[in-house]
Amino acid sequence: MSIEIDQVNKRFGDFVAVDNVSLSLNDGELTALLGPSGSGKTTLLRIIAGLEQPDSGRIRFHGQDTTDLHVSDRGVGFVFQHYALFKHMSVFENVAYGLTVKPRSQRPSKAEIRRKVMHLLEMVQLDWTADRLPSQLSGGQRQRIALARALAVEPRVLLLDEPFGALDAKVRAELRRWLRRLHDEIHVTSVFVTHDQEEALEVSDRVVVMNKGRVEQDGSPEEVYDNPANPFVYEFLGNVNLFHARVQDGVARIGNLNLSAPEYAGQRESRALAYVRPHDIEVLGERREDALHAQIELVSVVGPTVRLELRTDNSENVVQAELSKHRYRELGLVQGGDAWIRPVNSRVFLEDGELQAG
């Protein structure tokens, strides 16, 4: 079931939550809506679900306009951040709820409900909890029950609002891998909201980066990570170093460094910012003409990788670099010592106000 979002707008008073968003989500895909808080991602999800009405714009499921359809008729499965399980019902009753509230003519028989619920509970590996109350389960278990409950009604689309947001890091990592595998099995068109870029990159087929109610970029996880469309996406997806640079005719200069920036061929001299990821900074132990001198201010070893904080001669900002422990030992670097750094991969954006003349 594909989802089409057509020029959707939503305001809350003066606050523009969703600003003219158009998206089309493909059948069977798992899409992540990624953005900082207040970026409108949850509002957009709730509009798709029918829990919120857009001020203007249409929502279509597989071509059928569902904008005015009530949430209970829309055929969506919705998973909430805080599970929203029915506390007074057993796990079994929770999962069966969607089936038992169907009109009598469409309601499956008791035996059929039992078979289906137990099948779902097995799928989320919690069939042994059927007779327990939600309060007797851990957070991760509750969220899996919430997912089983949403799937019980065979929704046309599955919507998850920060599904792992309330869980601790380990359970979170486990659950998102599990969700990925589950999605590969059942292939229901799914959208999930997250502010965690790692989660979005790991789980989804497609990432939609949102900011201030607008879509900043939309593409595969690899695409948005490797080719961020703009400085916002660059900064939001992982750590990044900023270098002040001057761009002229396809070359960006940082001090005595020249970086190639072919997209600005023919550009007259303008101020720009070069974005470089920490792992795209090559650290050298010896002086080289095409590298910047810097002092190592802090060394922190995080498992197999070493993170360095360096200060270049002409920079106010600290530069972060990442290298393997092996390489770090090889170079013989020490805290407080000298190093030379060289961006091996960078992306240059003109500073605001600098015209991008062709």
Partner 1 sequence: MDANPDANARDHFEVNMSTATRKRRVIPGFGLTMGFSLLYLGFIFLIPVGGLLLYTSMMSWEDFWRAVSHPQVVASYKLSFSASLIGASINLVFGALVAWVLVRYSFPGKKVVDALVDLPFALPTAVAGIALVTLYASTGWVGQYLTIFGIKVAYTQLGVVVALTYIGLPFVVRTVQPVLEDLEAEREEASASLGASRFTTVRRVILPSLLPALLTGYALAFARAVGEYGSVVFISGNMPYRTEITPLLIVAKAEQYDYPGAAAIGTVMLIAAFLLLLLINGLQWWTQRRGL
Q: Which residues bind partner 1 (CB under 8 A)?
A: 49-51, 70-74, 76-78, 80, 82, 84-88, 97-98, 101-102, 133-135, 146, 149-150, 152-153
Nearest to 252 by CA among 228, 239, 269, 277: 269
Nearer Cβ to partner 1 (49/323): 49
Nearer Cβ to partner 1 (82/271): 82
Q: What is the closest distance, in whole angstroms, from the C-beta atom of residue 343 to partner 1 in the complex? A: 46
Nearer Cβ to partner 1 (135/313): 135
Q: What is the closest distance, in whole angstroms, from the C-beta atom of residue 167 to partner 1 in the complex? A: 17
Contact yes or no for 76/155 (Cβ under 8 A): yes
Nearer Cβ to partner 1 (50/343): 50
Could you give the C-alpha distances from 333 to 322, 327, 341, in angstroms and in order?
A: 13, 10, 12
Tokens 């809506």 sit at which residue? 33
Nearer Cβ to partner 1 (84/118): 84
Amino acid at 20: N
Q: What is the closest distance, in whole angstroms, from the C-beta atom of residue 90 to partner 1 in the complex? A: 9
* Residue 85 DSSP one-character state: -
Nearer Cβ to partner 1 (75/238): 75
Q: What is the closest distance, in whole angstroms, from the C-beta atom of residue 156 to partner 1 in the complex? A: 12
Nearer Cβ to partner 1 (159/254): 159
3-state secondary structure of 47: helix
Distance CA 318, CA 8 (A): 41
Sign for the pseudo-dihedral over CA of 171, 174, 177, 178: negative
Q: What is the closest distance, in whole angstroms, from the C-beta atom of residue 72 to partner 1 in the complex? A: 5
Query: H helices within 209-311, ranges in order?
Result: 221-226, 231-236
Distance CA 302, CA 64 (A): 51
Q: What is the closest distance, in whole angstroms, from the C-beta atom of residue 76 to partner 1 in the complex? A: 6
Strand (E) or helix (H) holding 255: none
Contact yes or no for 145/137 (Cβ under 8 A): yes
Q: What is the closest distance, in whole angstroms, from the C-beta atom of residue 163 to partner 1 in the complex? A: 13
Contact yes or no for 257/312 (Cβ under 8 A): no
